[in-house]
Amino acid sequence: MKTTDKKIKLGIFFMCIVMFFMTACSSSNVSNGKEEKEVSVEVQEEKNDVIEVIRLEGGDWGYPSPYLHYSRGPGGYKMQLIFDGLLERDEKGLIPWIAKEWEVSEDGLTYIFTIHDNIQWHDGEALTLEDIEFSFDYFEKHPPVWNPVVMNGKPFVKNIEILENNKIKFTLAEQNATILEKIGDVRIIPKHIWENVEDPDKFEDEKAVIGCGPYKLTGYSKEHGTYEFTAFENYWGPKQRVGKIQFVPASDGILAFENNEIDLVGIGTDLLGRYQSDSQFKISEAPGFWGYRLLFNMEKNPIFKEKEVRQAVAYGIDQEEMIEKVARGAAIPGSAGYLPEHHIWYNSKVRKYPFDEEKAKELLGEKKVSFELLTANSNAEVRIAELMKISLNKIGIEVEIKSVDMQTRDHAVTTGDYEVVLTGHGGWGGDADGLRARYASEVRVSGSPSANIIRGYENQQIKALAEEQLREMDTSKRKEKIFTLQEIIAEEIPMIPIYNTTGYSVYRPETYDGWMYMFDHHSLEHSKLSYLERK
């Protein structure tokens, strides 16, 4: 879109949001809450359980094209409201989406997908099999922020062939236990728009957000962190239960929720009692698939190449204290084998590192260890860093804290511009192949902060086993390899998982009760299916 037009549209959108807040604040919180609740119920009844607007906490996560959204979850999942993939996720696993069915050859090298008929792009053009083939080719040449089509620097699809009867065939160069998920996750983009785009990182036209997903982008303000997504009336898939999804300013999420300015909010254990005793609220507990970890850059500080030093640091960090004082009890200790205890393939027998000053000192011996700890400047991360500094000082390790804004920290993780860094992110519930990506990969697997290599570290045993599990098509045998891999990783402790947050989400079911968790994810509002009809 033209710059002037874009500014006008975004300005109008934001003015509407501000006017809503002014109206909402014109009466008392109690009476306003009752009035809005009654209206919401009526709207759902009148429109066959369709609610006109859901409002959620805003913040800028980039323009939601496959190339311009911010790499963290709130950016990527907004993009996925607009763009569909061949498969989707529900509470139990992968489900058919653009592809209504698929078949796999006996050797595991060929996947044939049958595509739904009559799928339209938001501009009215028909989606074709050529669009699907084009998307994979284009992403190979121009890697998107999420869902790349390469592994270890190589495309994971050898060949794509368009067949009759709305079928498309993918041929692999080698067996891959995770390939169905990887193919299904790739977002499909319209060839008639992107085939002439030479630099997608600079393509910020309104055509950059034309997809075939259930929602269209109808408002975005980078300055104010607001978004509006409106249901696409010709969507091929499940009917939308929400007409508009608006992400709005909310400096205090709890207060905004209490004032009916947003419809969903996350809370800690300290606020549970406030909502448990009131039947107008419903509480949902999140799995521990978002967490903090400590990354060592062994190229910048070679002392961390010594396993005993890494183990000493692990024993010198009091996870339980951090969970109590920072997470307010809404967390679980990180597993030294990386996969959290809520993961379906978590190995409970991995080595543990409970806080133990004497054990840490014994492992350090006469070694002098000091480092700069880079962290984002959020209250939680600064507090974790401070507690870490105090506990490590007790075992003789000197820590200097450097806090920066989140984007600067994430950029440092990507470029390796740190000595030791504290980072937090989601993705901990994903396929266990994440162990290979994090501990044995030689290249960055995506733009996400959750998927970066450990600089200066290499372990041939981990690398070999990580590759074996990827090629193992027998699920039980693969699980055994993953369990062994966790045990080796926990012994080596190349990075230190600190804790995984759990926490709770609160909402008013009379306003809207369609929320759901994807089987491998921690956030209700990130699931596309939260806004759609389900059987």
The pLDDT value recorded for residue 59 is: 96
Domains of the chain, start order: 3-68+213-265+504-531 (3.40.190), 87-194 (3.90.76.10), 290-501 (3.10.105.10)
Partner residues linked to 248 by β-bridges: 57
Q: Give 333's DSSP letter.
A: E
pLDDT tens, per residue, the chain with 535 residues: 433 344 434 444 444 444 443 333 333 332 333 333 232 333 333 345 789 999 999 999 999 999 999 999 999 999 999 999 999 999 999 999 999 999 999 999 999 999 999 999 999 999 999 999 999 999 999 999 998 898 878 899 999 999 999 999 999 989 999 999 999 999 999 999 999 999 999 999 999 999 999 999 999 999 999 999 999 999 999 999 999 999 999 999 999 999 999 999 999 888 899 999 999 999 999 999 999 999 999 999 999 999 999 999 999 999 999 999 999 899 999 999 999 999 999 999 999 999 999 999 999 999 999 999 999 999 999 999 999 999 999 999 999 999 999 999 999 999 999 999 999 999 999 999 999 999 997 655 555 554 457 999 999 999 999 999 999 999 999 999 999 999 999 999 999 999 999 989 999 999 999 999 999 999 999 999 999 999 7
Work out the angle between the directed axes of helices 307-315 and 357-364 (0-180°, nearest 10): 160
Spatial CA neighbour of 410 closest among 383, 448, 446, 378: 448
The pLDDT value recorded for residue 153 is: 80
The pLDDT value recorded for residue 354 is: 98
Q: Is the pTM of this model over 0.85?
A: no
The pLDDT value recorded for residue 148 is: 84
Exposure string of 294-331, with b = 16+ CB inside 10 Å and e = fewer, is: bbbbbebbeebeeeebbbbbbbbbbbeebbeebbeebb
Tally Cβ neighbours within 10 Å of residue 133. 17
The CB-side HSE value for 289 (13 A sphere, CA atoms) comes to 22
Q: Which two tokens stand for residue 353?
A: 């590192």
The pLDDT value recorded for residue 154 is: 86
Q: Are 219 and 227 within 8 A, CB to CB?
A: yes
Q: 89 φ, ψ to 5°?
A: -115, 135
Tell me how far apart the alpha carbons of residues 377 and 62 are, in angstroms, rounded to a whole number: 20
Rg (CA), the chain: 24
Tell me how far apart the alpha carbons of residues 348 and 353 are, in angstroms, rounded to a whole number: 13
The CB-side HSE value for 76 (13 A sphere, CA atoms) comes to 21
* H or E, element range at 226: strand 226-231
16-24 contacts, C-beta under 8 A, 24 or more apart: 17/224, 17/226, 17/246, 17/248, 17/249, 20/248, 21/248, 21/249, 21/261, 24/259, 24/260, 24/261
Work out the angle between the directed axes of helices 475-492 and 307-315 (0-180°, nearest 10): 90
Instruction: List all residues 6 or more positions away from 342 whose beta carbon is below 8 Å from its beta carbon.
Output: 287, 288, 289, 332, 429, 500
Q: Which two tokens stand for residue 176?
A: 């891959």
Instruction: List all residues 6 or more positions away from 501 whose beta carbon is below 8 Å from its beta carbon.
Output: 286, 288, 290, 291, 327, 330, 331, 522
- The full 3-state SS of 148-195, as one line of letters, equals CCEECCEECCCEEEECCCCEEEEECCCCCCCHHHHHHHCECCCHHHHC
Q: Give 350's DSSP letter.
A: S
Q: Which two tokens stand for residue 163?
A: 């067949």
Three-state SS at 248: strand
Beta-strand relationship, 369-376 and 397-404: parallel
Tell me how far apart the alpha carbons of residues 41 and 49 are, in angstroms, rounded to a whole number: 9
